[in-house]
Structure 1
Amino acid sequence: MSAPQVAATRRLMHLARIVRGRAHHPQRFMVETLAGAIEDAADIIRDYPIPCLDEVPLAANFPLREATDLLTQHDFMIPAAILGYATAPLTGVLPQMEPLNAVSLQLARQDADLRARRMALIEHGHLNSRDEDVLDAALTGLMGLHRKHERLAATVAVDNDRPCHRGKAPADLASH
């Protein structure tokens, strides 16, 4: 098994465990369905040969799509972007946290802070840590940051649409 396969499998298995412990849904079997789909993807990535180092095995696409659909169609309090962090060793692509272009200085600062905290987790290599607790904390931290960013995006959309903010350029943090 290649190093990217090992890393992706490990991240997915940790993510499945985190989902079981942290996901919320009124129907508990939905949490188990989500965790099971993530584990199925990990098993396939572990067991199937990968023709190219920069792709997920075709067979793993079904459980990953199922997990993505569950995360986007139901509120488990876990953002779908977290799956991209788990598969990044194979795809070479990390999920992004795009700037929200907030007009309000306070909201722009919150946005910048969340993006900086995300970057720190990635740059410090916590997703590649051999320590189980560090990997769990990194995945959990990224879930929280993306969740906060999603909520902030909704707030920014409302704030930017206020009559006094319409047509204004995003706040310039460099000048403050």
Structure 2
Amino acid sequence: MGFVIMNCQNSKTISEEVYYIAPDNILFEFNTINRNTALNKIGHHLVKNNIAKSGVVGSAIEREKTSSTLLENKWAAIPHAETKYIDRSQISLLIAPKGIDWGTGLARLVFFMGFTQQEIQNISMNKIYHEFNELLEQKSVMEQLVNSKSNMNAEKVLMNFFLCRK
């Protein structure tokens, strides 16, 4: 948090939301899959990269049983796991152009929120969720993300949204 993107009129300091999304944590799925398969794919990536502990997937699936994290706009879901399973705070993005059967609808984007307990105490989760709600209301940005062909392309879409909007 602290560098500035200078290629847009409304340049501003990078926000917490962008800081937590690294290109290495942007994944793609080009087949139609279900919610549990999507959470397994994300969880395996997080564990393999020492971002989360084993058990992160089970925690996220249990959370989904309480209440679905599929948003009303049906573009995206924002699942998360208990903080005890997170070793490094991050937001992972799974892009699935054909959709993920989330039970009550199809998600095309999954923003997996993973924050350590310490990080939650130091950041404004309300601000992060507010910024993501603004992102999810932008149909053109959602379409650009769904149509992204690479991690870097998806990252540019996110950077442009978070840093260049009014």
With normalisation by structure 2, the TM-score equals 0.35
Q: Which is richer in helix?
A: 1
Flag the structure with larger Rg. Answer: 1
Indicate the structure with greater strand content.
2
Query: RCO greater where, 1 or 2, for CA within 8 Å and sep 6 or more?
Result: 2
- Give the alignment's TM-score, normalised by structure 1: 0.34
